Amino acid sequence: MAQAEHRPRRSFRLVSAWVASCLIVLVYFLLPDGEPAATLDAGHFSGADSAPEQRLDVVAVSPTDAVAGSAVTISYEGAPERVPVRAFAGKEELPVLARRNGALVVRLPSDLPVGRVKLRVYAGDERSKPYPLQVKTANYRKPFRNLVGGFALLIFGIGILARGARGAAGLGNANLIARLGRRGPAALGLGAVVGALAQSTTAAAGLLAGLVSSSLLAVVPAASAFLGAQIGAASAPLVTGLIDPREGLLVIAIGVLWLGLSADRRSTAIGRFVLGAGLIAFGLQTLRPGFEPFIQDPRLLSFVASLRADSVVHVAVCSLLGAALVAVLQGPAPVVVLVLMLAQTTAEWDLKTALAVLSGSGLGAAFGALITTPAGRSCRRLAQLHLILGAGSTVVSALTVGLWAWLADRIVPGVPQEIEWGKRVLLPNFGLHLGAAFALSQLGAALLLLPAVPFLARKLEHWFPDGRPGELSRVGDVAGVVRSSLLRVLAAHRSGLEPLLDLALEGRREAGRTAEHRLADAHDELEALLAGPVLRLEKEGEGHVLGRTAFGCLQLERALDAVHRQAERLIDRRVALSANAEARLLPHQDEDTLRKLHTLLAEGVDALMRSIEQRSPADLDLARAREIHMNGLEARARAAVLSGEPEPSIVRLHLGVLGLVDAYEAAGNQVYRLSESLAASYAKSSPAAAV
């Protein structure tokens, strides 16, 4: 039954992997690959149309090559004060999206042909000499490549980091993290440190999710730490981080170095932890350019310039825009810089509007964290808490925008901004006011929501229970349910044994995959059995027998997993010896030993199934005979190793076979113990149970 339930799911995942891979490749090659025009010679445009004494001049254009219809920034010097500056592409005037002293943000015409275009600026009657701009076709392959590649690096890095954290942390480290997590303020401070170091709420969420998936941090403390991570990540523009996404490749190099030179399990775990952190950082660095075409869209810039936080609806719109920007840019730090730039260049945003945009950082951080949340019950619950707390933080910050702006005006000296044509907006004053107001709003929202985190976690457990509702309460014969489940578990064990012999003798890896799936089905069935029906069995009679048998099946499952691992290792060894034609072939004696051991183990499992199905004692004499026979076969395999074989490769092959023989013998011991338990238990049970 378990095998039938899991087969469609595995087939669906395998088909999904093939379909997704083909779709990614197809979409990538269908997207246009924009090629830039020929390299421009700036001297081609210099001097011909300008007088030697000309003061107005274009000093830079960013980007140096652009797509028709996109926005570019023109930096100039020498413009007279209080004279409006205009920009032209050839003879066509360009619409100004934003302006500041010495720079214009303009939109290029959407019908510009690929090639060279002359840009000029005019101040009254004075004009600059032409500046070359290269127009290219749009390249959509690059952002698509960055999006899928960056996302894959994030997921892969989080998985490696979780394995490294689990292996590197000792019991003392785990207890320290657990003690920190039990205190709300300490968890908040831990999150602030992680956010400041990672400079990204997405990366911080990935690190916290890795700690949760490695069982070093509980869900509730991790959710509390995520509130602090938003504060820490927002301080990144003011505090230089230790792990910047641009240094991701350097961290990856250190992680690979540790893995290559590791001499024990702990150093390997440290290498994995460092490598995972580097992959997360490099994944973010790769992911961000994929969103640039959307962020630099001139229509978005025009929409942003028109925003005003003068009503509840407009504040909500500002918050949603900020949430989208934080989710796309993986944290509030780049959004803070972007808001400051827009406030300066447009000269139209006040402190309240800028703060309303940043109020959406909580919700945006929660959505951005979804891409770094691995699968699993705990991580799924953590993602739900992130969304609720992020939405709550955004609502609280948006509703109190006026309060935090007022407090910032009282705390920070100076005027937030000074808007006057021809004068530069005072960015330091505005930046200090905005930074103080944003920090106060995030801290206030975090302190307000922190006590509610345990309550929300309990409510989520009640609203969205992860466990499947038990059907046992509607079943009268609990022992019958357990007996049927045990038979399915042993049947899955028996079916998992069949391909193992084919794997060991023929080296067919697909046989090993089949065995792995069937043993996994048995594990799922047994885990559900032990966590539910077995707990409701009677403590006497057949209930006692079935309960002991269920836990015995757990030991048998572990032994069968060891048989599978040793069979895979034997094939690895034979592949490594494939250059030696004689060594890669199993000796006849070893092959005969493995076949006999496999047959004896399968017969033992069949006998267990008959005993449980007939509710009768197992034949202990026959079980003891099988066990003695398996011990004799193991002794014969050991003798083959000690036979004095002069060829080292043959000795290595014998050692590989001996490892598999030991695993078979250990599984046979578990079968004998189960038979012994069934024989004793059913003999002592009531006569009605033995019928």
Contact 395, 178 (CB under 8 A): no
Determine the Cα–Cα distance for residues 336 and 582; give it in Å rounded to an integer: 68
Residues 492 and 448 reside in one and the same domain:
no
Determine the Cα–Cα distance for residues 434 and 429; give it in Å rounded to an integer: 9
| Domain-embedded: residue 468 | no
At residue 685 the predicted structure's pLDDT band, cuts being 50, 70 and 90, is: low
Taking residues 669-685, what's their average pLDDT? 78
Residue 132 pLDDT more than 80? yes
| Domain-embedded: residue 121 | yes
Residue 540 pLDDT more than 60? yes
Determine the Cα–Cα distance for residues 667 and 501; give it in Å rounded to an integer: 14
| Domain-embedded: residue 607 | yes
Domain region containing 428: 291-463
| Cα 197-200-201 angle, rounded to 5 deg | 110
pLDDT digits (tens, 9 = 90+) for 606-664: 998 888 888 888 788 898 999 899 988 888 888 877 766 667 777 777 788 888 899 99
Residues 245 and 313 reside in one and the same domain:
no
Return phi, psi of residue 33, to 5°: -105, 95
Tokens 């691995």, located at residue: 374
| Domain-embedded: residue 35 | no
Domain count across the chain? 5
Residues 281 and 297 reside in one and the same domain:
no
| Helix, strand, coil % over all residues of the chain, rounded to 5 | 70, 5, 25
As a whole-number percent, the residues of the chain with pLDDT over 70 amount to 73
CATH number reported for the structural domain that contains residue 674 in this entry: 1.20.58.220
Contact 543, 564 (CB under 8 A): no
Residues 366 and 305 reside in one and the same domain:
yes
Contact 567, 503 (CB under 8 A): yes
pLDDT at 600: 92
Distances (CA, A) of 569 to 397, 534, 555, 635: 57, 35, 21, 21
Residues 418 and 393 reside in one and the same domain:
yes
pTM: 0.53
Q: Which token pair is 677?
A: 């338990």
Residue 245 pLDDT more than 70? no
| Domain-embedded: residue 469 | no
Highest mean pLDDT among 209-213, 541-545, 617-621: 617-621
pLDDT digits (tens, 9 = 90+) for 412-468: 766 555 444 333 333 445 667 777 888 888 888 888 888 888 888 888 877 776 544
Final residue in a domain of this structure, among 463, 486, 515: 463
CATH number reported for the structural domain that contains residue 117 in this entry: 2.60.40.10
Residues 256 and 383 reside in one and the same domain:
no
Residues 185 and 158 reside in one and the same domain:
yes
| Domain-embedded: residue 183 | yes
Residues 271 and 406 reside in one and the same domain:
no
Determine the Cα–Cα distance for residues 317 and 263; give it in Å rounded to an integer: 56
| Domain-embedded: residue 223 | yes
Nearest to 109 by CA among 161, 56, 72: 72
Residues 126 and 158 reside in one and the same domain:
no
| Domain-embedded: residue 472 | no
Beta pairing class for 85-89 and 96-100? unpaired
Contact 408, 433 (CB under 8 A): yes
Residue 30 pLDDT more than 60? yes
Tokens 């066509």, located at residue: 92
Determine the Cα–Cα distance for residues 191 and 223; give it in Å rounded to an integer: 9
H or E stretch covering 428:
helix 427-449
pLDDT digits (tens, 9 = 90+) for 143-185: 788 878 877 786 687 667 766 765 665 555 556 666 665 666 7
- Which amino acid would we find at residue 138? A
Residues 125 and 157 reside in one and the same domain:
no
Residues 250 and 345 reside in one and the same domain:
no
Residues 365 and 438 reside in one and the same domain:
yes
